[in-house]
Every structure is written in C-alpha cells, then in structure tokens.
Structure 1
Amino acid sequence: MIELPPKPRAVSDNRRPRWVHRLAQEAGLFLAATMLGIAVILYCVVFLIAQRHLPGGFELTSTVNSTLPLVLAAVAQTLVVLTRGIDLSVGGVIDLTNGLAAITLDGSAWGHAGQPGTGSIGTMILGSLLVLAVGGVCGLINGLLVTLGRLQPILVTLATLSIFQGIAIRVLPQPGGAVPQGYTNLLANPNWPTSVLWLVALAVMWWMFRRTRFGVGVYAIGNDAAGAAAIGVPVASVRILAYVLGGVCSGAAGLFLAATATAGDATAGNTYTLTSIVAAVLGGVSLFGGRGSGIGAIFGAFVSSMIVNILFFAHIDPLYQSFYEGVFLIAAVVLVGGIGHLLRRRY
C-alpha cells in the first residue's frame, strides 16, 4: 500500500484584502461620507419636526448654492495643505474677488454698465476671467514667498490675508455692486439645480487632477519633499503651482458667493479662512500633508453646512449657535482623526 505524502500546510497569507487597504488609505474620505449621510438624515428629521414636511428640491438647491463657495474654499485649502503648507489668506482672496465680481460682471468697472444687474455676455466672461486671474496672482504671491523666500506658510498667508482684505475694502468700500441675473442663473440658479452640475464638474476635475503628473507631485511633496526631489519632482514649481491653483479656486469661491448674493461685500469672505480648514480636516485631509482628497473636502464642507442648518431648524438661540457649532465640529474632527489613525495603524 502506497502511503501518500502529508498535505502541505497552508501558508498563512498576511496580505490584506484590497478593500481593506483602500479603506485604510482613504479612511478620512469614507468617514466624511458617513458623517455627511448621518448629518443629512438628522437634518431631514429636524426639518420634518419643524416644518411638518420633508425638505424638497428648493431646500436641496438652496443648500448646494450656499455651500458651493465653502466647497471651493475647502478645495483651495486642500491643494496647499497637501504640500504641507496652509493658506490663511483664503478669506482675503474671497473678499477681494467677491468685490471685483460685483463691479466687473455688469460692466460698471469698464465704464459702460447698463441697468444695475445687467451685463453683456462678453462683459461677464471678461469679468470672470479677471476675477480668476486675480485669485491666481494672489496664490502666486503666496507661493513665491513660501517657496523662494523660504518663509513659513502660516506667517506669509496671515500677512497676505490682511493685505488682500485691505485691497478688497479699497475696491468695494461698502456692500454693493450688482451681478447680472443671467450670471446668477448660470452659477447658482435658485429655481434649478445648476449648482449640482458645477459640483459634479469639480469632483470630476479633482479625479483627473489626482491622475496627472502635477497631482502626483503634490502628494509626493507632502509626504517627503526631499524624496520627491530625488525622484525628479520639480518641488519648487509644483509647490508654487499648488498655491496658484488654490488661489484660482478661492477666486471661483468669490464668484459663486457674488452670484448667490447677487451683489458684493468686501468682508463676506472673512469666515471662509477657518471654515475652509475645518471642512478640509472633516474631509480627512491631514494637516501634515500628503494625505487627503478634494472629494473628502467637499464632503466636509457639506457636513459643516448641514450642522448650521440643523441648528437653525432646531430653533437654537442664534446667540448660542456658534457655541454648539464649534462643539459639534471639534467632536467631528476628533472622531475623524481618531478613527482614521486607528484604521491606518491596525490595517
């Protein structure tokens, strides 16, 4: 009788499944999406109790319209934070570009404006390009001072915040100006969800950015600038370009803010400096650079907006809304950071 050799022992495979690896790498993004889902459900419940019906298309459109400036500001912040920097001038750039939008889109800055709130297509295109270009120049100034001047990002952008705010007051000394109704309908139509299309377009652009050489370079610099330089990444130019692109996104936030309000205010962007950082962190973007996603920052912006809406419809005293908003945001940031760290450590 021939004796068969024993079956070989199964070699333990310590390799983790692909989905586990993906979860560990994008823990912040998944947590932000989960938090947004919870916030939306809670908002619907509070809205139903307060209004006796569920939120409909108008409420959805209004929420997206009012959140889009914060979404763009959060993406602008994310681009800089990924390079292990920070941009405290986001609010100042929004102030400046918001004021510029209010006086250029209807042609008043060019000396040929018609009725208030009207403007030709050419005037609106020219005004939009000017606003975006100004945002890019603001980002370029920050990038040059940080990269070539070798100054700390927090000090540079804190100084330029004050400079941009001062220029914004000079451009629009008091709230006013006018945004053409057609421009508002294109960017933030209150009766049709055009803003959702812009939101989808922004998400697609981020997906494309992640797959470009520039996008790979941004993440490489945030993880290890010396190592990125060793493999041929042009660290200086990539970092400067990240600040420029962040400035363009902040300029776009100023445009959307003007389109939503149909006018300009040189102080309307002040709150976006801190809220853009909060939205980025809620979206899983690491302040140490090299980890995070613009998609997560978009989710984080909507989580922050939902918290404000929940407090409003819960009839919280406006004097205490900032307190509760801060408490919820701190709890959310700690939760995102803690769970994300645990997942990455365990898997």
Structure 2
Amino acid sequence: MPSSLSPAVVFDPATGLDVREVSRRAAGPGEVEIEVRAAGVCHSDLHVVSGDWPADRPLVLGHEAAGVVTATGPGVTSVSPGDHVVLSWFAPCRRCRRCAAGQAWLCTGTRAVANTLPDGTTPFRGADGEEIWPYLGLGAFTDRLVVPETAAVKVPEELPFSIGALLGCSVTTGVGAVVNTAGVRPGESAVVIGTGGVGLSVVMGLRLVGADPIVAVDLSPERLAVARDFGATHTFDGARDDVAAWCRDELGGVDYAFEAIGSPRVIETLPGMLAPGGAAVLVGMAATGATGSFDLFDLADQGKRILGCNYGSSVGEIDIPKLARLYLGGRLPLDELVGRTRPLSEAAEAFDDLRANAGVRTVLEP
C-alpha cells in the first residue's frame, strides 16, 4: 500500500521544477526503504533541469544521499533496519559480464540510467496517482525512498550524513578517477580543470596518492582557495591564464589532465597540456550528443591517451566504505567540501548556486 504523502523535489518536462507531494510503496523483494538524512546537489541533477539530458517523464531528483534503513523487503541480506547507509546511484545487477569481471561501473544490467528500479517500476506516485520516477533509480530529494539492495551501502554510524551523501557520487567519482581510472602514482604531475565538488575530490585524491605538482584551474577565486587547502600546489584562473602553455613551459607537460566540468571546448584543450605518454581523464559529464575534436597525429605520435571515467571506475560496495574509513581516519578533509545546507523547499536556490559556481557542495536536508 502507498505511504502517506511527503514533499519531494520533482522535475516535470511539462511544468519544470517544483516541490510536490508524493507517496511511495513499501519495499518489495530485494528492495530497501531508506529514511533520507542528507542529499547532495550535483551537476547531474542540474543537467536534467537545464535540458542537457532530456527527460521524458516526471522525476524525483537527487542521486547523492545518505540515510538510515527503515525496512527491508524479502531476500535482503546485506543491510538491516537501523543501519546507516550511503546510496550508490549506479546500482549494479551483479550478474552481467562486466559485474562478474569486477567492473560494476560498466554494468549492462542496471536500470538506474533508465530512471527505474530493477524491475522497471517506480515506487513513487503523485497525489493524483500519477507515476513519478526515481532519477537514476533513487530519487533522493525526499524524506523516504525505496531502492534496490545493491544501492544501499552500509557505512559506520559515526560517519556524518552530510559526508555520506557526498560519498554517494562526487567524492567516489573524483577520488576514483585518480585511483581507479588513471592509476596516478606518487610524484606524477596533474592538472585539474574545474574545482566544484567532483574537481575538489580529484584534488584530494591526487594528494592522497602523493601526486606532485597538483595544478587546479577554475574561474572562482573562492573555489581555488579551497583547492589549495585540499592540496593543490598551483592555481590558475581559467579565463585569464594560459594553463596549457604553463604546463608545457614549466613541466614539459603533465602526466594527467582531469576535466571535471563536461565542457567540450575545455576537453579539446587537454592533450595540449600533456607530456608524451600522458592521459586526459574525462570526469565531468557533457551534454548528450556533445562532440569534440583533437589533433589525432599528436595523440598517436606522442602516445597520449583519452580516458573516459564513469563514477570513478568504482564499485560502490567496496569503494564507499574505504572512503568512509579514510575520512574517519583524517585522510580526506571532506568537512570542507560541504558548503550550504538548505531544506528541500530551497532546491531551486541550490541549483542557482550550482549555476553560479557559488561555494562548494550544497546539501539538502528533508
């Protein structure tokens, strides 16, 4: 039976963004009910609101969250009521070839990107009974939700919910881009373009593995100051400074160039920053259908690589607990990554902050 109505942040392609009342059904087989305590506001949500990623149905937004298990459906064994969990938006099927190979971030059986639960249904309905769908299989901008078991990753109870929320996407993506996708080694050099939540997480990951130098690029002096606190050794204004020329002149090119914006124009500049044998890592998500062009002779002649990075090449149930332990052990300064905390009713203002590159990560609390 459906639950009582609760407020949720919904994007409807017909009416836009609003906060409306939704109900949810109980957890079914292989599903978990979560009480949401904190949810991060991510560019992937903004891509839907801005139309970069067109939506064909009303969606409860939000995919970066942490909370407490309140109920479990039949067959659930990995979590129990009362457990603290981080929600992993790319819930793997655990059965396809990629999952079996340990590459859950490339799962071909997940229904998360179709904005449904694994059985193709939604747990949400509007006050009029209309189906409303969970963005990326979660729909975390509400107070309670139902998710597949593989999306609920148990974490220590001492982990703050606001920090756990960021582990659900931005931190796992950024640190994973360094550790998993690129495999950066101590002493290797890197540039990070874009120092929002994901870019700052890349900077933290680079410091964690001992990269040097670490060059951060942004348009916001505030974010660049935070990047220095997180381990950047050099910072540049992307609108004023010729970063590629500096990398070539001062370093002979960098070993890795991370793009955390999703801008085709910026991505096209990455090979020019690289040393021979270097790699450009595409961490930011571009609009659907976006394309770019590169000097193909330079890529081949200099052995340069372009690496795509989805979710930091991470396996949520393995990497999220690792990152939680690193935070609790004082190895990741994630408290500084949390900027403003807003109620769900101020979701529109949170998206305005994101558009304006204001501050660091905004967290919504139901």
Tell me whether the two structures share a fold, i.e. TM-score over 0.5.
no
User: Between Structure 1 and Structure 2, which shows a larger proportion of helix residues?
Assistant: 1
Between structure 1 and structure 2, the one with the greater Rg is 1
User: Between Structure 1 and Structure 2, which shows a larger proportion of strand residues?
Assistant: 2
